[in-house]
Amino acid sequence: MYKIKHISKTVWTLSLISLFTDTASEMLYPIMPIYLKTIGFSIVLIGILEGLAEAIAGLSKGYFGKRSDLSGKRVPFVQIGYAFSAISKPMMAFSIYPLWIFFSRTVDRFGKGIRTGARDAMLSSEATLENKGRIFGFHRSMDTFGAVLGPALALLYLYFYPENYITLFYIAFIPGVIAVITSFYLKDKPDNAVCANEKVKLFSFLSYWKTSSIKYRKLVSGLLVFALFNSSDVFLLLKAKEAGLNDTMVIGVYIFYNLIYALFAFPVGILADKIGLKKMYIIGIILFSIVYFGMSSASSLFVIGLLFLFYGIYAAATEGISKAWISQISNKNEVATAIGFYTGFQSICAMLASSLAGFIWFQFGASITFIVTGIATILIVIYFSFALKNYP
């Protein structure tokens, strides 16, 4: 058994930073749509807000990932990225003008774009080929515990102070600040800059696709096609609501899903190192297809609870594993660019996936939406099984 005490100080620090940041972000997740509606945002405007924010995050992940690789520095990108996300929380409460809300939300997503590639490169540098799954799994586990604590704290606060949303934005600033303070315990390894003085244009990271290995291109192609059908978790929550769950129960199953995700991410990472990252990822997306086929006709709390249990295990078997897999087949001096390229386009694909799911739901209903996604996922399982035969 790989013990937690073998996790390095850097991995612990990065994991704690992610835990505090995710606690802050997820504290606001359940109430964000409600708050935006109370200050006059329509559903369409909320959609545009989230779409724009995710697009900015997507583009910035690739750009800052390449900058981190070229400079050989990781810590400044991590610190600035988490600082942006922390500052964005109270900014949302300063004003209700739409442009300010757009700006505040963009600052949060921009912060994620700045830090993602550099942070994951730091995790990769702390791992060997034999333990990448458990290192990324441990980080995902700690990160996701924040997604359990955040909504739980929000529910507790709103129980005593219903509809007092503004104060919650200021409360969310506290764990965000703790995350930034914790980031000052990070230290960069000796400078391994590729070309510190090279200028990086906004879209220059796109050239990585041409220079990357055929292994990387085949892997990321499959991951991005899956992302095109992996719509927002909001659709699962809406289906749970449609099946008869009340608001509290819907938030409850969301917390339950994150708890399962957090509990399974580390042991699943350990198992992935033993059986192979590819096998674990395939198991994960098979579970994803089962969840979506099941949700197409789910109508009872027991079935929905069981499906969210599977969904938590799916997330544990894919989120951290995909990044560990990419880092395993990438040059160590290009890990931030490799992961930044993938996560950048993943954000854009996720936006398109949610748009597609919303259109199918509107035109043909919820059941068809989930069945289409389930069928597409089975085809992706076949691709990973046969097109990536010699992959670890």
pLDDT exceeds cutoff 60 at 379? yes
pLDDT exceeds cutoff 70 at 5? no
For the chain, the residue count is: 392
Residues 6+ apart with CB under 8 A from 364: none
302-320 burial by CB neighbour count: b if 16+ within 10 A, else e?
A: eebbebbbbbbbbbbbbbb
pLDDT exceeds cutoff 50 at 255? yes
C-alpha to C-alpha distance for 98 and 81, rounded to whole angstroms: 24
pLDDT in tens, 34-58: 777 777 776 566 666 766 777 777 7
Cβ atoms < 10 Å from Cβ of 301: 15
Where residue 2 falls among pLDDT bands split at 50, 70, 90?
very low
User: Is 277 exposed, middle or buried (CB count within 10 Å of its CB: 0-12, 13-18, 19+)?
Assistant: buried
* pLDDT of the residue at 173: 95
Where residue 392 falls among pLDDT bands split at 50, 70, 90?
low
pTM of the model: 0.84
* pLDDT of the residue at 1: 40
Torsion angle of C-alpha atoms 162, 166, 170, 176, degrees rounded to 10 = 90
C-alpha to C-alpha distance for 357 and 359, rounded to whole angstroms: 5
What percent of the chain lies above the pLDDT cut of 90? 42
* pLDDT of the residue at 334: 83
Residue 181's closest CA among 11, 10, 16? 16
pLDDT exceeds cutoff 70 at 132? yes
Where residue 193 falls among pLDDT bands split at 50, 70, 90?
low
Give the mean pLDDT of 244-251.
79
pLDDT exceeds cutoff 80 at 150? yes
* pLDDT of the residue at 200: 61
pLDDT exceeds cutoff 90 at 18? yes
If one compares 199 and 37, the residue with the highest pLDDT of the two is 37
Cβ atoms < 10 Å from Cβ of 345: 21
pLDDT exceeds cutoff 90 at 76? yes
Residue 316's closest CA among 167, 142, 59, 178? 142
* pLDDT of the residue at 109: 84
pLDDT exceeds cutoff 90 at 147? no
CATH of the domain spanning 10-186+207-387:
1.20.1250.20
Least confident of 64-78, 191-205, 240-254, 345-359: 191-205
pLDDT in tens, 322-376: 999 998 888 888 888 888 888 888 888 887 888 888 888 888 888 999 999 999 9
**Mean of all residue pLDDT scores within the chain:** 86
Evaluate whether 347 touches 61 at the Cβ level (below 8 Å). Answer: yes
Evaluate whether 255 touches 148 at the Cβ level (below 8 Å). Answer: yes
pLDDT exceeds cutoff 80 at 294? yes
Residues 6+ apart with CB under 8 A from 257: 233, 308, 309, 311, 312, 315
C-alpha to C-alpha distance for 158 and 119, rounded to whole angstroms: 33
Give the mean pLDDT of 22-38.
80
Evaluate whether 143 touches 18 at the Cβ level (below 8 Å). Answer: yes
Residue 141's closest CA among 272, 38, 238? 272
Give the mean pLDDT of 374-384.
95
If one compares 179 and 160, the residue with the highest pLDDT of the two is 179
Residues 6+ apart with CB under 8 A from 330: 212, 213, 216, 338, 339
C-alpha to C-alpha distance for 73 and 92, rounded to whole angstroms: 31
Evaluate whether 372 touches 291 at the Cβ level (below 8 Å). Answer: no
